Structure 1
Amino acid sequence: MMSSFRAVFRKEILHIRRNRGVLIVTVMMPIMQMMLFGFIDQTVHDVPTVVVDQDHSVESRELMDKLRATKTFAIRQVTADPDAARGAIIRGNASVGIVIPPDYHDRRGRGRPAKILVLIDGSDSTVSAGALAAVNGLVAQDNLEVLARDARGGMPLSAQPIILFNPEGRTANFIIPGLVAILMQMIAIFLAAGSVVREREKGTMEQLMVTPVDPLGLMLGKVAPYLFLGLGETALILAVMRWAFAVPIQGSLVFLFGIMIVYLAALLALGLFISTRAKTEMEAMQTAQMLVLPSVFLSGYIFPIKGMPFLLQAISQVLPATHMVAVMRGIVLRDAGPTEMLGHVVALLVFAVVLVWASVRRVSKMTL
């Protein structure tokens, strides 16, 4: 029995050593998950904020200093335009807008109640809840300081919060639009990752290579069916989102499907590139899984990107899913168009061009 055990044991050790893909996944997967969950901070801080200062007084500047002191708000812009705050939130450049009215100084100076307007992007329920709690805490602290000096002072400061785009704070409205981008990433990469290596394992790839096939035509022929399948899956998922989970689609479906074509093209090209480098279908699936997992955690789908360390934030910006999650939430929840989502659209176009070029070049080397 021991001789059989030793023989089989030695055989499995050699198999693990030779199959480096399995070894890398086995070792790196738990380390990657520990690093992701360990470094990601879900505490809401440094929320991009636009302040509409219509008062331009010492008191309004003191209020902005108090906002910065909370560490929750990072004031990115100070303007007098009342439409600037809402516009910045729609574009995704800000999550909070603070409007200080023109009579703020007079009311505070005369001991009369003053009110500020707080616009909060409700498309991210975690950030909106944290920002709302920070504003209420700041107002309460200010009122306590005034009451400590004069017990008859009443409540000199109040905040009027307005939750934009998801006033009910429904989790489904926040999660499902981002989930569409993540699901399509998984479907596209895993489908394309096995396309070339599957033919290689069956022995039909050699027959295909001896034919006068153009590399670009070969790549397009491989990914085009999956592109149409992905668009069909997108339509099905959006229908389920709208009618089963009652998540309204505020923006343009034409824009949504247009950017989805770019997104799927980039992911299918990436999957095809993986397929050309893998030796077996199992290795291709493992490599695809290694790429998909970071996207789930670093794309902002689950955890706010602002709560991540700088290095993880930088990595998140080179993931197509990060930009597609932002675009999906912008279209579905904020009625954002191409102008508001321009930065994310450009990033997805760059990803698509680079990945398609890399895949065509790789296929060209295979056909030589």
Structure 2
Amino acid sequence: MNVRRLWAIVVKELRQLRRDRITLAMVVGIPVIQLVLFGYAINTNLRGLDAGIVDQANSAGSRALVMDMLATGVVAPVARVNTPQELMAMIRRGQVGIGIVVPPDFERRRIDGRAVAQILVDGSDTAVQAAAAQLMQVPIDSAAPDTRAPATSTPVGGRISMVAFYNPQRRSAVNIVPGLIGVILTMTMVLFTAIAIVRERERGNMELLIATPLTSSELMIGKVLPYVAIGLVQTSVILALGTWLFAVPILGSVVDVYLASGLLILANLALGLLISTRAQSQFQAMQMTFFVFLPSILLSGFMFPFAGMPKLVQWLAEILPLTHFLRLIRGVMLRGAGLREMWLDVLALAVFTLAMMALAILRFRKRLD
């Protein structure tokens, strides 16, 4: 082995890495991203969960009990409604994850030692269900007595009960399988289209496309459409296996499931096309896809609770299509909600798709350079 020739190869590789900005960015970027995400953004100790409150007693004791629950920091009130039915509708639409219900006979229940309040939980997220259990530890005796009630020597007691909807057994498969639809579609759809234009260049097909009367819009949209069918096939496979092997329910409309999946497919395909207009090789396209996939799977709420992330990270996660899709698919499959009830997430996916497709079309040029 000749040391000079070996050293020449080492220098050549280092110079090539220096010119390859994407690879150089991954060398530094991947450790930084993982350190920031796992150290700052990922938090399994949930605090400040969105909660709705129904206080039908409206007494000094019931108000004190609600304040004690809020003082734990587990929940943050975002809505006060009049009936438990309104609260259930908000949970089904995904507007709140936890509901606190105090019945009108709160004082009598406390004297009798019965359940004085009920915690309603969206069990489709097992992490929220576990965090809500902390509210059951709030002491009832600390609640101020109702001065309007007659004095009594009966000991004050009572307890707080919890009811988990949509996944009372806390089966992890019920929570994971719907999310896997989004994760798999994100990984495959972005990657497929990210290498679409690059592959045409590397195989020499771009010269043929340049000679055709195709416009940039026709070429980009034509690249996308075949993968829509592939994405829907993947969705069908995951749904079939999820219901057969893990008994995952589909409480909502199957049509809404496919419509939500179609929105995510289009969003990811448009993002992949935008990446393909920037990448110079298939390897670069795969590297850039990894930069998108890593934050998506960590910040969307698939692996770690979305509610446990800092507000700044939550705002950044709102840009990711997978974040909105997880809300839609879990709402439809596990809570029986309709897409109309979750129209904000539908709108977010549609706007993202149009923006990414427009940018991809603007960046694409039918020329070899």
TM-score by length of 1: 0.93
Cα offset, 1:259, TM superposition: 2.2
- Given residue 264 of structure 2, which amino acid in structure 1 is its aligned partner? Y
Distance in 2, matches of 1:339 and 1:37, equals 35
Cα offset, 1:363, TM superposition: 2.8
Residue of structure 1 in register with 2:191 after alignment = 190
Residue of structure 2 in register with 1:35 after alignment = 36
Cα offset, 1:41, TM superposition: 1.5
Cα distance 1:112–1:232, how it changes in 2: closer, same or farther (>3 A)? closer
Contact 1:91 1:341 in 2 (8 A): yes
Contact 1:45 1:71 in 2 (8 A): yes
Residue of structure 1 in register with 2:325 after alignment = 324
Distance in 2, matches of 1:58 and 1:79, equals 18
Contact 1:181 1:324 in 2 (8 A): yes
1:51-107 deviation line (CA, Å, top 9, x unaligned): 111111111211111011100011111222221110111111111111111111344
Could you tell me which of 76, 79, 83 is aligned with 2:78?
76
What are the equivalent positions in structure 2 for 1:299-314 lying under 5 Å apart?
299-314=300-315
- Given residue 311 of structure 1, which amino acid in structure 2 is its aligned partner? L
Contact 2:136 2:162 in 1 (8 A): no
- Given residue 183 of structure 1, which amino acid in structure 2 is its aligned partner? I
Cα distance 1:348–1:213, how it changes in 2: closer, same or farther (>3 A)? same
Cα offset, 1:238, TM superposition: 0.9
1:178-234 deviation line (CA, Å, top 9, x unaligned): 111111011100000111101101111122112111222211211111111111111
Contact 1:96 1:118 in 2 (8 A): yes
Cα offset, 1:358, TM superposition: 1.6
What are the equivalent positions in structure 2 for 1:63-102 lying under 5 Å apart?
63-102=65-104
SS for the counterpart of 1:116 is: strand
Residue of structure 2 in register with 1:181 after alignment = 182
RMSD, matched Cα: 2.0
Residue of structure 1 in register with 2:149 after alignment = none
Cα distance 1:62–1:272, how it changes in 2: closer, same or farther (>3 A)? same
Residue of structure 1 in register with 2:276 after alignment = 275
SS for the counterpart of 1:259 is: helix
1:303-359 deviation line (CA, Å, top 9, x unaligned): 112211222111100111100011111111000102321111111111111112222
Give the share of equivalent positions with the same residue, in percent.
37
Distance in 2, matches of 1:236 and 1:295, equals 22
- Given residue 5 of structure 1, which amino acid in structure 2 is its aligned partner? L
Residue of structure 1 in register with 2:147 after alignment = none
Contact 1:178 1:326 in 2 (8 A): no
- Given residue 43 of structure 2, which amino acid in structure 1 is its aligned partner? D
Distance in 2, matches of 1:310 and 1:76, equals 15
Distance in 2, matches of 1:277 and 1:37, equals 29
Number of aligned positions between the proteins: 359
Contact 2:99 2:120 in 1 (8 A): yes
Distance in 2, matches of 1:184 and 1:250, equals 22
Mind listing any 5+ residue stretches in structure 2 that lack a counterpart?
145-152
Contact 1:90 1:340 in 2 (8 A): no
Contact 2:206 2:368 in 1 (8 A): no
Question: Whose helix fraction is larger, Structure 1's or Structure 2's?
Answer: 1
Could you tell me which of 60, 63, 73 is aligned with 1:61?
63
Moved more, 280-289 or 7-16: 7-16
Cα offset, 1:362, TM superposition: 2.4
Cα offset, 1:265, TM superposition: 1.0
What are the equivalent positions in structure 2 for 1:312-351 lying under 5 Å apart?
312-351=313-352
Cα distance 1:167–1:335, how it changes in 2: closer, same or farther (>3 A)? same
Residue of structure 2 in register with 1:142 after alignment = 140
Residue of structure 1 in register with 2:148 after alignment = none
1:231-290 deviation line (CA, Å, top 9, x unaligned): 111111111111111111111111111122222111111101111211111001101110
Cα offset, 1:297, TM superposition: 0.3
Contact 1:113 1:155 in 2 (8 A): no
Cα offset, 1:112, TM superposition: 5.4
- Given residue 66 of structure 1, which amino acid in structure 2 is its aligned partner? D
Cα distance 1:359–1:367, how it changes in 2: closer, same or farther (>3 A)? farther
Residue of structure 2 in register with 1:105 after alignment = 107
